């Protein structure tokens, strides 16, 4: 699938908000995040991924289906022994409703792509040791 540029632009503009009790923060694609770097250090990880199970393939989905998908995602992550912080992806223009999400600590990009594919997502936001969030579009989505 080739994504419309408007959809990719929307992913890039999204504010990826993380509710870390120590210091809540917002991730922006391709912008270094000193707070994410501190978060990585606090949890002893080098990678993290911001992921959701809401609205598979960017198609509006009923709230109950989104909630059930998020519960399955949270369980899937927990069975891998990974820690998470709650988050929400917010469209700053207000065109799209916020999507409940998780920042998965210690989840690298290749593993994130596999997980996102399993939950019908087109893309995820991954950060490595440099704490720069990068949009990773799933191949073949």
Question: Hey, what are 141's tokens?
Answer: 């989505």
Give CA–CA dist 117/119, Å, rounded: 5
Task: Give the C-alpha distances (Å, rounded to integers) separating 109 from 46, 49, 59, 90.
Answer: 11, 7, 23, 22
Residues 6 or more apart in contact with residue 92 via CB below 8 angstroms: 13, 14, 15
* pTM of the full structure: 0.95
What share of the chain in percent tops pLDDT 70?
A: 96
- Domain residue extents for the chain: 5-137
**Model pLDDT for residues 84-118, shown as the tens digit of each residue:** 999 999 999 988 889 999 999 999 999 999 999 99
**Model pLDDT for residues 20-41, shown as the tens digit of each residue:** 999 999 999 999 999 999 999 9
| Mean pLDDT score across all residues of the chain | 95
């Amino acid at each position: 699938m080739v994504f419309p540029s408007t959809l990719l632009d929307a992913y890039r503009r999204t504010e990826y908000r993380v509710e870390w009790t120590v210091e809540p923060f917002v991730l922006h694609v391709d912008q270094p995040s000193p707070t994410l770097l501190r978060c990585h250090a606090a949890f002893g990880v080098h990678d993290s991924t911001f992921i959701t199970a809401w609205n598979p393939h960017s198609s509006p989905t009923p709230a109950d289906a989104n909630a059930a998908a998020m519960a399955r995602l949270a369980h899937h992550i927990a069975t891998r022994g990974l820690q998470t912080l709650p988050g929400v992806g917010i469209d700053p223009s207000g065109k799209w409703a916020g999507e409940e999400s998780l920042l998965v600590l210690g989840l690298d990009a290749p593993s994130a792509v596999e997980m996102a594919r399993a939950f019908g997502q087109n893309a995820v936001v991954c950060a490595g040791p440099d704490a720069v969030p990068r949009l990773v579009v799933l191949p073949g989505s």
